[in-house]
């Protein structure tokens, strides 16, 4: 009997060693004070991808259909429970509604000061399952949230954080704003890079009352201009209300509970380090940019709960930045499973340094910020 027990113990130990060895080749996971840390080294999928994206249709590419199909500087996309697609046509100050086949259905909103109208160019929006629209509009220092019903009638209008540029709805139809608090404790929108802005999440209900506010991780750099850009972030909301955050210039993706508790931190070995030393590039018009390594240009969640991070294949050179020349074929989606384990990369066949992408269910949308919105389907292979 003792020999059998010893045998099974040795077998169990061997099995554990094999599993740990496999995990060590691809990733390691450790838990520290209730936070799960996932360190990724190699893709689980190897060279065989398990998902692909297939182009379904392009919005804004056929002007022959008339002005309802023209788009000028689109900046957001949403989908309702019926599969209708809403595009924030910011340059034309309206929201265009199309059915799943891309046929025009309705125009919502226009420029104006009246109910259901946008006083300034709308910045971003989201759509709930009932087709109600939640849009950010207004001028710097006076940003508003407009809630419109399915036909476009205004239901509510109220002030929102002045550094908010994106709104996402959670499973309770609460509005989740990514914003910043300044070193003077306000949320006023400043362009002064010498101010310290710390990233925050704020949650509002449909009546315009703030219900929650909590800070996100903040990295202290050795200069204020690095603090300014180095803590820029993207976020999305999972079905259970958890919030996924990626940092543009930091090698981490984080999951927070709806109450602001840090649950998970993911990193990935890419062969580059986070920028620690300040270097500014000045252009001919006297504008400038702080040169930093880029780790994320956006983050989203698909229907399977996988995390998609838009990233560069390689960093831009100083000459490319000076000439504002973005290298071709330099974007890819880094895909992680819901536990933070790196699965593999899917190519993003778009050549702009500033794209907006959004995943809704199994549909991936890419907005090129000029005139086009691309709809892709995420396909399991």
Output the pLDDT for position 166. Answer: 93
- Read off the pTM: 0.90
Q: How confident is the model at residue 191 (pLDDT cuts 50, 70, 90)?
A: low
Question: Residue 64: helix, strand or coil by DSSP?
Answer: helix
Q: What is the CATH number of domain 69-215?
A: 2.120.10.30
Closest among 256, 252, 213 to 233, alpha carbons compared: 252
DSSP 291: -
Per-residue tokens: 318: 């100083």
**How far is residue 225 from each of residues 48, 107, 129, 252, measured CA to CA in Å?**
41, 41, 41, 20
200-255 tens-digit pLDDT = 999 999 999 999 999 999 999 988 888 888 999 999 999 999 999 999 999 999 99
Closest among 300, 330, 297 to 313, alpha carbons compared: 330
DSSP 329: T
114-164 tens-digit pLDDT = 999 998 888 899 999 889 999 999 876 788 999 999 999 999 999 998 888
The count of other CB atoms within 10 Å of the CB of residue 82 is 11
Helix ranges (H only) for the chain are: 2-26, 224-230, 318-322
Q: Are 71 and 60 in contact (CB under 8 A)?
A: yes
Question: Residue 321: helix, strand or coil by DSSP?
Answer: helix
Hey, where are the domains in the chain?
Answer: 28-59+255-381, 69-215
Task: For residue 29, list its beta bridge partners.
Answer: 38
Locus of tokens 């207004």: 138
Question: Residue 10: helix, strand or coil by DSSP?
Answer: helix
The count of other CB atoms within 10 Å of the CB of residue 6 is 10
**How far is residue 218 from each of residues 54, 177, 245, 310, 377, measured CA to CA in Å?**
37, 17, 12, 21, 35
């Amino acid at each position: 009997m003792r020999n059998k027990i010893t045998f099974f113990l040795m077998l169990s130990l061997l099995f554990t060693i094999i599993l740990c060895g496999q995990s060590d080749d691809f990733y390691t996971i450790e838990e520290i004070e209730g936070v799960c840390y996932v360190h990724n080294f190699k893709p689980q999928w190897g060279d065989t991808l398990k998902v692909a994206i297939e182009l379904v249709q392009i919005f804004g590419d056929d002007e022959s259909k008339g002005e309802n199909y023209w788009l000028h500087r689109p900046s957001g996309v949403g989908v309702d429970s019926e599969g209708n697609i809403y595009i924030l046509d910011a340059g034309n100050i309206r929201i265009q509604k199309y059915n799943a086949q891309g046929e025009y259905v309705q125009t919502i909103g226009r420029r104006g000061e009246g109910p259901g109208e946008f006083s300034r160019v709308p910045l971003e929006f989201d759509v709930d399952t009932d087709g109600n629209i939640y849009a950010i509009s207004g001028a710097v220092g006076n940003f508003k949230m407009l809630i419109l019903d399915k036909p476009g009638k205004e239901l509510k209008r109220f002030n929102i954080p002045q550094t908010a540029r994106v709104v996402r709805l959670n499973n309770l139809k609460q509005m989740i704003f990514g914003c910043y608090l300044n070193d003077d404790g306000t949320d006023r929108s400043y362009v002064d890079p010498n101010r310290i802005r710390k990233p925050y999440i704020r949650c509002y209900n449909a009546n315009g009352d703030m219900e929650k506010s909590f800070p996100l991780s903040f990295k202290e750099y050795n200069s204020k201009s690095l603090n300014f850009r180095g803590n820029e972030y993207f976020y999305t909301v999972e079905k259970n209300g958890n919030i996924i955050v990626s940092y543009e210039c930091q090698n981490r993706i984080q999951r927070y509970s709806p109450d602001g508790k840090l649950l998970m931190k993911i990193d990935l070995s890419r062969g580059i380090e986070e920028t620690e030393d300040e270097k500014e590039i000045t252009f001919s018009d006297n504008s400038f940019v702080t040169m930093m390594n880029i780790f994320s240009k956006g983050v989203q969640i698909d229907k399977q709960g996988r995390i998609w991070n838009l990233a560069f294949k390689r960093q831009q050179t100083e000459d490319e930045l000076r000439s504002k020349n973005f290298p071709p074929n330099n974007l890819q989606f880094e895909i992680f499973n819901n536990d933070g384990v790196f699965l593999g990369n899917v190519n993003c066949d778009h050549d702009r340094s500033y794209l907006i992408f959004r995943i809704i269910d199994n549909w991936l949308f890419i907005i090129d910020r000029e005139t086009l919105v691309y709809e892709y389907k995420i396909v399991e292979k």
